[in-house]
């Protein structure tokens, strides 16, 4: 069975600083990987997804993520954080193309942005 680990429960960065959120997955074959963001009182919004091809994926709101098979990682990055990026971020994996939307989520990383 697939699993996702987000090692950082809580991260605080200063506005304008760069950001990297870590995600490690466990799955035997090529996974389908996702990053979602959840703001208070909101549902989950998809930031980006990886199915195949280029291992550097661009998403919305200036986010990108890099799939590294050798490290079983899919870390999320942003070069300059804005105060509005404060939210909870979830990494998720889908097992196969046919069930790519039956997702297994990590426990999330809560991002705080310091003015």
Site for other proteins in 24-43 (CB under 8 A): 32, 36, 41-43
Whether the CB-CB separation of 25 and 91 falls below 8 Å is answered with yes
Q: How far is the CB of 2 from other proteins (least distance, A)?
A: 11
Interface residue with other proteins among 63, 93, 106, 113 (CB under 8 A) is 106
Task: Tell whether residue 62 is a contact of other proteins (CB under 8 A).
Answer: no
Q: How many residues touch other proteins (CB under 8 A)?
A: 25
What's the CA gap between 71 and 9, in Å, rounded?
A: 20
Coil, strand or helix: which one is 19?
strand
Closest CB to other proteins among residues 62, 100:
100
Interface residue with other proteins among 4, 21, 87, 111 (CB under 8 A) is 4
19: tokens are: 């950001």
Coil, strand or helix: which one is 7?
coil
Q: How far is the CB of 110 from other proteins (least distance, A)?
A: 9
CA distances from 105 to 14, 18, 67, 101, 108 (A): 27, 24, 16, 11, 8
Task: Tell whether residue 92 is a contact of other proteins (CB under 8 A).
Answer: yes
């Amino acid at each position: 069975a697939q699993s996702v680990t987000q090692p950082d429960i809580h991260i605080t960065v200063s506005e304008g600083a760069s950001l990297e959120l870590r995600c490690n997955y466990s799955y035997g074959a090529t996974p389908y990987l996702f990053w979602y963001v959840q703001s208070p009182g909101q549902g989950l919004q998809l930031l980006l997804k990886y199915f195949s091809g280029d291992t550097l994926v661009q998403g919305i709101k200036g986010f990108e993520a890099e799939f590294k098979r050798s490290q079983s990682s899919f870390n999320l990055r942003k070069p300059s954080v804005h105060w509005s990026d404060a939210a909870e971020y979830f990494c998720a994996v889908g097992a196969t193309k046919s069930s790519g939307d039956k997702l297994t989520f990590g426990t999330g990383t809560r991002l705080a942005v310091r003015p």
